[in-house]
């Protein structure tokens, strides 16, 4: 681990746990033993690395990391105090604050990743999309892959009376918003959470 990353993890400890971004202003922690929740995804890596490399102990903190069953369980356990903090979907603190699900005021102390999401389709759907995707001189697809190239596939599903289903992890997740934006940009109505008048999705 490079010195730059170690300093970065130390800054997490200072800003998240001590309420300061300056080491000269850092106070003693309110508690030394902490339990952090996480979901088994690669974007929890900063917590895992800090734990394995002893960066928490360097700051006088004794941290336990605990995998959680799903995003709702993780959020509720932070709210009711069973967890001192957690790796969480960016939209969850906002959703909780405005009363989506369990209402509570949650502080986003640190953002651990940025632009790490991707949209995938099955091999079968990919094969159906390929004829609509422009090719480079070497025969490889032109990137980015637009939802425009998925639209003929979705239209065929509709014409055949079959639903076209795509999954996301949680209603207030960035995954959900990014997927909906991508689909809408390609002329595909992503539908509503509940049936509404005039919705033909």
72-108 pLDDT, tens digit per residue, is 999 999 999 999 999 888 888 888 888 887 888 888 8
Q: Is residue 196 part of a domain?
A: no
Residues 20 and 59 in one domain: yes
18-75 pLDDT, tens digit per residue, is 444 444 556 677 788 999 999 998 888 889 999 999 999 998 899 999 999 999 999 9
Q: Is residue 195 part of a domain?
A: no
22's tokens: 């300056």
pLDDT at 67: 96
106: preceding bond cis by omega (within 30 degrees) = no
Comparing 33-37, 111-115, 163-167, which segment has the lowest mean pLDDT? 111-115
What strand order describes the sheet that includes 62-67? Answer: 62-67, 33-38, 85-86
Last-in-domain residue among 62, 97, 132: 97
Which residue would you say has higher pLDDT here, 195 or 191?
Answer: 191
Q: Mean pLDDT of all residues in the chain?
A: 83
Residues 167 and 132 in one domain: yes
pLDDT at 103: 87
Residues 68 and 139 in one domain: no
Q: 64 phi and psi, to 5 degrees?
A: -110, 135
pLDDT at 108: 82
Domain that holds residue 142: 123-185
Q: Is residue 194 part of a domain?
A: no
Q: Is residue 146 part of a domain?
A: yes
Confidence of residue 140 (pLDDT cuts 50, 70, 90): very high
Percent of the chain with pLDDT over 70: 80
Averaged pLDDT, 173-188: 89
Residues 74 and 155 in one domain: no
Residues 87 and 24 in one domain: yes
> Is the predicted pLDDT of residue 192 greater than 80, yes or no?
no
> Is the predicted pLDDT of residue 1 greater than 50, yes or no?
no
Averaged pLDDT, 154-177: 88
41's tokens: 């995804």
Q: Is residue 117 part of a domain?
A: no
pLDDT at 195: 61
Residues 41 and 90 in one domain: yes
Q: Is residue 190 part of a domain?
A: no
Strands 62-67 and 33-38: parallel
Secondary structure (DSSP) of 75-121:
HHHHHTTSSSEE---THHHHHHHTTSSS-----------SS------
Total count of domains within the chain: 2
pLDDT at 3: 53
Residues 88 and 8 in one domain: yes
Nearest C-alpha neighbor of 145 from the set 125, 172, 115, 163: 125
Q: Is residue 43 part of a domain?
A: yes
Task: Classify the C-alpha dihedral 127-133-138-143 as positive or negative.
Answer: negative
Query: How far, in Å, CA of 100 to CA of 166, rounded?
Result: 22
Residues 82 and 11 in one domain: yes
Residues 149 and 75 in one domain: no
Confidence of residue 160 (pLDDT cuts 50, 70, 90): very high
Query: How far, in Å, CA of 97 to CA of 80, rounded?
Result: 14
Residues 24 and 89 in one domain: yes
pLDDT at 22: 46
Please state, in angstroms and as integers, the Cα–Cα distance from residue 106 to each residue in 89, 96, 177, following that order: 12, 7, 21
Residue 22: give its domain's CATH number. 3.40.190
Last-in-domain residue among 97, 131, 155: 97
Q: Is residue 113 part of a domain?
A: no
What are the CB-based long-range contacts (under 8 Å, 24+) for 47-54? 47/87, 47/112, 49/1, 49/5, 49/9, 50/9, 50/12, 50/13, 53/1, 53/6, 53/9
């Amino acid at each position: 681990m490079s010195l730059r990353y170690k300093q970065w993890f130390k800054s997490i400890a200072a800003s998240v746990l001590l309420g300061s971004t300056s080491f000269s202003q850092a106070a003693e922690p309110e508690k030394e033993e902490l339990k952090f929740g996480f979901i088994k995804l690669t974007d929890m890596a900063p917590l895992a690395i800090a734990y394995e490399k002893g960066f928490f102990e360097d700051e006088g903190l004794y941290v336990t990391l605990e995998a959680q069953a799903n995003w709702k369980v993780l959020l509720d356990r932070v709210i009711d105090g069973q967890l001192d903090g957690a790796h969480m979907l960016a939209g969850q603190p906002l959703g909780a604050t405005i009363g989506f699900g369990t209402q509570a005021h949650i502080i986003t102390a640190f953002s651990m990743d940025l632009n790490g999401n991707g949209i995938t389709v099955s091999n079968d759907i990919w094969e159906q999309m390929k004829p609509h995707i422009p090719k480079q001189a070497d025969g490889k697809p032109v990137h980015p892959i637009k939802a425009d190239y998925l639209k003929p596939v979705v239209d065929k599903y509709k014409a055949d009376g079959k639903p076209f289903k795509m999954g996301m992890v949680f209603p207030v997740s960035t995954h959900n918003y990014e997927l909906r934006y991508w689909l809408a940009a390609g002329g595909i109505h992503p539908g509503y959470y509940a049936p509404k008048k005039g919705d033909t999705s």
